[in-house]
A and B are shown apart, each in its own frame.
Chain A
Amino acid sequence: MMWETVIGLEIHVQLATKTKIFSGASTAFGAEPNTQACAVDLGLPGVLPVVNEEAINMAIRFGLGIDAEINKVNVFDRKNYFYPDLPKGYQTTQLDKPIVGAGHVDITLANGSTKSVRIHHAHLEEDAGKSLHEDYHGMTGIDLNRAGTPLIEIVTEPDLSSSEEAVAFAKKLHSIVTTLGICDGEMSQGSMRFDVNISVRPKGQEDLGTRTETKNLNSFKFMEAAIHKEVARQIDVLEDGGRIVQETRLYNGDTGEARSMRSKEEANDYRYFPCPDLLPVVIEESRLEKLRANLPEMPDAKKIRFISDYSLSDIDADILSGNQATAAFFETAAKLSGNAKLTSNWVLGEVTRSLNANDTTIANSPVTAEMLASLIARIKDNTISGNIAKKVFEAMWNGEGKDADEVIEKKGLKQVTDTGAIETMIDDVLAANAQQVENYRAAPPEKRGKMIGFFVGQAMKASKGKANPGMVNQILKKKLDD
């Protein structure tokens, strides 16, 4: 039977505020346990929450960034359950008046077409603390530094139909929230966590199959693997005549294993009610206007501009505009070097390769946009060939010069463009390879094109790569054909 996969996502995005959503405690990552958990975060008796204005602003910015309606009157609700990393016994969240209403996020599929993924809503809530299950004399350790960190939970419609689409969506969302500056995007620190709802159904069937939810995936790679695994599992169960049980599953990225989580007792009985400690948050039109006026250029708009301003291909523009830091790096280098196409090739080529090989990000690249621009300028004006440029790049990467000119000067890599010098060198090559010269001249013209490559290679080798390849080619042709 042909099966169809249906995927919906719930994404927890940690907002990049300095303080908690309801208290003035710091949200900085990596502090000593419980040093950033104040009386409000601990839920001690007698404390009252006060809403962080910046958390409201950031949630609104997200809504404006995805063309969504912003709810003017916001109510916070209590979601009641007991767990040790939730000291109040309830999570303050939003149930039926979420701050961000329906919107959409458009993704580019592998075949180049665009798919619009509907966002059902996004609501504000607080994060819980962390349970450390290492053995503390048979007890569990609790760190409440994360408790009260502001989150938006973004809920999509079940519009995704493969792991590839889900990952493309996740990356796009990452690009949107980092462009907006509302999230640091550090997935390994849990700044974005994905819950994936998956079901399968026979192709053509209207009704949705029973779904499972795989929780807390914090890397694109894990997400892709977890979806593949769960889709295969569900199809196996159904083809063996079984049925899917609605459950929450956990995927372990390190082992690649997935298992059913103990289904929370009375799972759906959270007994929500409006939080009596918080008054409604009313968003005035003036606040919306101010935030709208200060929205940055969103990735989709940037992509279109890159195509029209720099004549980039759709696919190159898509990658370059997808990451705020990469886009800024590219634009700075393109403007300084005056050659966008070459800059794009270098950013997507050597720069990306070196970043990946050294497991670092463009913000920490030892070769800055200015340095890359200096390199491209020297390729453009024929000071160096593309091959030598790679050596110069490597040298700059290793800290052997503040720009391309310094490296070229220090290493004597300047391209030889002196016709006399190249001619002398070629004469030597031809003299040393008399037999090949004879073969060349005896060959029919249509075969010569390939054969000349040998002489070019020899000449470039003799010049240690510094001869201008175009000139070598031209002079060789002249000498061999005449």
Chain B
Amino acid sequence: MYTGRSLHLFVEKKLFFFLWLFPSVLFGQQINELVTLYQHKYKENEAVIIHSESKFEFDLAENKVVVREDRNQKLLSLRYNTFINEVEFYDSNSDIKEFSCESSLNQKSFNSDKVCGNYTNSEYFFDDNKFCTHKLKLQEAGEVWKTHVDKIYNDSKYLTSVYFHDKYPIVTKKIILKIPSDIDVDIREFNFEKFAVEKHVTEQGKFRIVEYSISNISAMENVRLGRSVQFIYPHLLILVKSFQSEGERVNILSNLHDLYGWYRSLTSQLSVQPEVFAPLVNSILKGKVTDDEKISSIFYWVQDNIRYIAFENGLAGFKPDDAHSVFQKKYGDCKGMANLTKEMLRYAGYDARLSWIGTKQIRYDYSIPSLAVDNHMICTVILEGKKYFLDATEKYLPLGYNAERIQGRQILIEDGDNYILEKIPEVSGENELELRQVKLSMKSDMLVGSYKYILQGEKKRNFLCGYHFSSGDTKDRLVKHCLIDENKNMKVNNVRLPDMNHRVGAFEINTDLECKGAISSFNNELYIDIDISKDFKSWIVDEERQSDIDFGEKIHKVLEVELELKDGDSVIFLPEKLQIDHKEFSVHAVYVKDLNRILYKKRISIENGIISKDSFIQWNEAIRKLTQHYDSQIILKR
């Protein structure tokens, strides 16, 4: 006997079976049922991929491993009279040989109909990404579009990862890798534990066939504060390590040594012309005595004077620009800025080195020999056994502080033919504080007083960046936004800013504060709200969300409020203490009566800046309690 849910699944499976095997002879009624089923299941999607099969065939050509991808896909329309774009990307290391589409309603878009062009990733000014697209009309729900892509990766180094998810939900998907025995390919699997991925390995003559299949997966999300897809979705990392050529083993990227060797082969091509920047280095070092002063003056000069503009064109995606070129252009990407920092420091007499690093967006480490393990370059100075990690792309970062995105990450430091592998130290939460200290008194229906806003670490750096890169009025708006958000009931007057160019130490803004309507008076009772920063109020997360929440920074928000009572005021009610402790976050809030004052202290911490999907239920529960706490008021009798 079928329950409602299992009947539903049964219908889905049965219908799908028909559609998969006999799409052309499927009865209209069955199609309609399937469409209805998926329309309810995937309300936001225009189509669902009912089957996708990608075959990757590895081969040797001109002493290189090339990979041919042949992908066939069936897309079931869930909408009518709607256009969608089927897009395929390629770059200077890959080509699209064929890309065509054909529908069950006899619509066709041939390979020659595809439209191609440049498409630069939003992080860069220019890169070598290109795309081809077919604009497909979903004439009616139930129409099935078949697409075929034939794509070549001309150098297997650049085929790094293969994902199962797509922009549409997928009913079934197969990824098949056909690897000849003379090519050593290591396939690493990620995030398989949360998804039912089946794997079969067979031998066919001299080929190893590795087949993965997955079913019923939703579309890849594009959500706010989403964590890097590497942490969320199942995928394969393809490591082409070596191949046999005339009886010899030829390494490609078999280990970290190979990877470093390739990087080194690129950096050794760099030309060094210190005479271009020598006068400037001499000038900025004038009067600087200590090593810290000297290193920081060069580091800060690069931060302040070199704009981050990235060209990721072919090998330029891996090879730094020459230091003198970056110096003359006054712009560069992370590699160019790292190289200029290095060469200026070397000219100044320091042991400065290029260093590769994968930011926190990358889930892999250097135990994996792949181009996918890093995405960033900085400069490391080694001085008397101490290492300074200098990332000049991080504007307003003080010397000795490492940006959140690289803390705790492995770093590959150049060391001649060898390398040094280290870890960037983590900073404790206490150094990442966002502290609000407020002293308030009552005036009519308002709270008035003084307000001190203190930022440390990454928060301070972000604020300074935002401030300096805002124009005119926007600067004032930014300051107000940080102090009182968009709360129109609050007003800040007489805002005193600190030295906005000072990188080191805490950052403190002082201001006068007015909170209109914070006191509601009913008969002789005053109902008072003294929490001026209701962080995370109603911040409920959709529990269906696939991605962890990644705030991109550690969060430690502290509010300390002191409310001065008038003579004769008696406290009738103080909201209850709130204390929530979880491995990923904590919320503490407490009101205390102290002589003629009420003291309120609230602390919200998200230790690593991540709320994982596994914690969404507890997070939402905590947010509900926090929101209730925010909605609790002090009562005074006057």
> Do the two chains belong together in a single complex?
no
